[in-house]
Amino acid sequence: MANLKEIRNRITSIGSTMQITSAMKMVSAAKLKKAQDAITKMKPYANKLTELLQGLSASLDSETGGVFSEQREISKVLLVVITSNRGLCGGFNSNIVKEVELLIESDYKTKQVDILSIGKKANDLLKKTHTIIDNKSDVFDELTFENVANIAENIMQLYAEGSYDKIQLAYNQFKNAATQIPTIEDYLPIKPEAGSETKSNLDFIFEPSKAEIVLELIPKSLKTQLYKAIRDSFAAEHGARMTAMHKATDNATELRDDLLLMYNKARQAAITNEILEIVGGAEALNN
């Protein structure tokens, strides 16, 4: 059994760790509330905008709908991988990286695949095995629509120039504080939803024309879609970190309790030995 000093040092060390993990849990819980409110308010608008755009695009050919609706033979693919800048959030980053690796190995095994990372962890985990064309981790320093819109414009330009034939987003979708869903989402080209043409004709009257409305909506919709994905990932990150720190605190508490029990047993054994020595000495003197 370890001596009392070693056990005391371990208890002190674990107590310090518990204070850190507990503080990180509370900080993430506070940030999660704000991030969750932001993505909850934004999702209905973003989803309706995407639905409207798909409905309008259904009746337009690629020439009328613009370059962003052009369907090409896929030979070059860009994956926009969204992770966090920091760790200590469980499997949040590794899960989405595994999904990206699986996607590349299964669907794009014979294609050229490049990666644009949003978040330091994506860059760190994928740069050894894949080509990273850019790292936009600084967007989390000030997460605003304007900063994300600049990234979206660069991605749209790459597609318009023909640098890539398909662009997809890979991120963790926020469900609740304990659940994050790794998601691969098509970004470009824009694909009309099946049956959306009939629905759009029934629901809307278009003025001045479908084509002009689509060309106006496409850039706005793509910027909003990327902003929603980053916001989704941002909320999921804080949920994952809060859950991970909660589990870490619970594990540290359990370990500390075990060590306290071990310490008390060792201390009791030491006291018992001292009593036995005293009693033995007294018996020796009496004899």
Residue pair 103/184 in contact by the 8 Å Cβ criterion: yes
CA angle 178, 31, 28 (to 5 degrees): 55
Report how far Cα 14 is from the mean position of its chain's Cα atoms. 28
Cβ-based neighbours of 218, under 8 Å, separated by 6 or more: 53, 65, 66, 68, 69, 190
89, 113, 126, 156: which one is catalytic? Answer: 89
d(CA 226, CA 137): 14
Is 89 tagged catalytic?
A: yes
Comparing CA positions, the residue from 86, 230, 83 lying closest to residue 144 is: 230
Residue pair 4/274 in contact by the 8 Å Cβ criterion: no
Coil/strand/helix, residue 2: coil
Coil/strand/helix, residue 171: strand
Kindly list the catalytic residues: 89
